[in-house]
């Protein structure tokens, strides 16, 4: 993928949006990211599995974004498959700022209320045709084998016994009994955008799907320091004990993933994983 190809794609389908230099940004797990002038960003899938995710964003994010209290990368144009590039792609609004995995820790401390309000605004009944995500929509028990494997892989890097106790308790919790809710699916710190040490945006809605709100609430444990968690849950609103237990389960599940990603692909992810696990253990031990 090159800036020349991206410019060719935009010029061939959306020539009125060529307003400045195209320059490459980060390459994520699923997409390559390109700035288009000062106000727009071009996102192109890197692999086949990401195509459906970007199409879900194109279909649903414009509908959901108006009710959300933070900025989102709402698609402004859709790129169609062509001889030059075989998959759908997106031109979206650019959100200026720093991702949470690179932000000053003080910014994370101040994000609890805004993140809680954002998730509460998103978590509404999803329609029958909302996307289902095999990694996010299903119950925690469907991840038991992979969880146990990651726990063994991490080894002495974490305190195994309390993590395993949280996991077993979460599997015993009552499942979500309401209508499936819209969830972001991946609200970890790298998908939170800060400007002037304030949370201003949430990006990467590729995992947007119908599911259990506990999946997203675990994002608070990934992102926030321990002393901000009570504020986060207050801002979100009432949650029953079963939802809290499932949230802690998702937090240690994601936490192990991030610890291992930190060892292999992205060094800034390791501290996120350890924070999620430490938060879950501390929160599980809080006086009730």
Q: Which residue blocks in 155-204 are alpha helix, DSSP H?
A: 160-172
**Of all residues in the chain, what percent carry a pLDDT higher than 70?**
100
Model confidence, pTM:
0.94
More confident site: 28 or 121: 121
Task: Tell whether 113 and 47 lie within a shared domain.
Answer: no
Range with lowest mean pLDDT among 207-211, 259-263, 265-269, 282-286:
265-269
CB atoms inside a 10 Å sphere around CB 125: 11
Q: What is the pLDDT of residue 244?
A: 97
Boundary (domain end) residue, out of 94, 127, 162: 94
Q: Is the pLDDT of residue 35 over 80?
A: yes
pLDDT band at 288 (very low <50, low <70, confident <90, very high): low
pLDDT band at 116 (very low <50, low <70, confident <90, very high): very high
Task: Tell whether 84 and 40 lie within a shared domain.
Answer: yes
CATH number at residue 227: 3.90.1200.10
Task: Tell whether 135 and 261 lie within a shared domain.
Answer: yes
More confident site: 28 or 214: 214
Domain count, the chain: 2
202: number of CA atoms within 13 Å, CB side? Answer: 30
Question: Residue 197 CA to chain centroid, in angstroms?
Answer: 19
Tell me the average pLDDT across 128-153.
Answer: 94
Q: What range does the domain containing 25 cover?
A: 3-94
């Amino acid at each position: 993928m090159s800036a020349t190809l991206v410019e060719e794609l935009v010029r061939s389908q959306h020539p009125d949006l060529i307003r400045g230099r195209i320059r490459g940004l980060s390459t994520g797990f699923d997409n390559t990211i390109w700035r288009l002038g000062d106000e727009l960003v071009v996102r192109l899938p890197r692999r086949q599995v990401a195509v459906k995710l970007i199409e879900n964003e194109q279909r649903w994010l414009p509908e959901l974004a108006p009710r959300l209290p933070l900025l989102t990368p709402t698609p402004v144009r859709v790129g169609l498959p062509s001889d030059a590039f075989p998959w759908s792609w997106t031109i979206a609004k650019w959100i200026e700022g720093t991702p949470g995995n690179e932000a000053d820790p003080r910014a994370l401390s101040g994000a609890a209320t805004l993140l809680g309000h954002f998730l509460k605004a998103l978590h509404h009944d999803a329609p029958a045709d909302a996307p289902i995500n095999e990694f996010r929509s299903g119950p925690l028990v469907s991840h038991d084998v992979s969880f146990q494997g990651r726990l063994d892989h991490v080894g002495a890097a974490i305190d195994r016994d309390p993590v395993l106790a949280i996991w077993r308790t979460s599997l015993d919790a009552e499942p979500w009994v309401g209508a499936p809710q819209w969830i972001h699916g991946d609200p970890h710190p790298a998908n939170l955008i800060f400007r002037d040490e304030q949370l201003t945006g949430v990006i990467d809605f590729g995992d947007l799907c119908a599911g259990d709100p506990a999946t997203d609430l675990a994002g608070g444990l990934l992102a926030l320091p321990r002393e901000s968690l009570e504020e986060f849950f207050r801002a979100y609103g009432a949650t029953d004990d079963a939802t809290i237990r499932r949230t802690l389960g998702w937090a240690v599940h994601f936490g192990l993933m991030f610890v291992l990603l930190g060892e292999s692909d992205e060094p800034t992810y390791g501290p996120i994983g350890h924070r999620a696990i430490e938060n879950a253990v501390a929160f599980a031990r809080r006086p009730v």
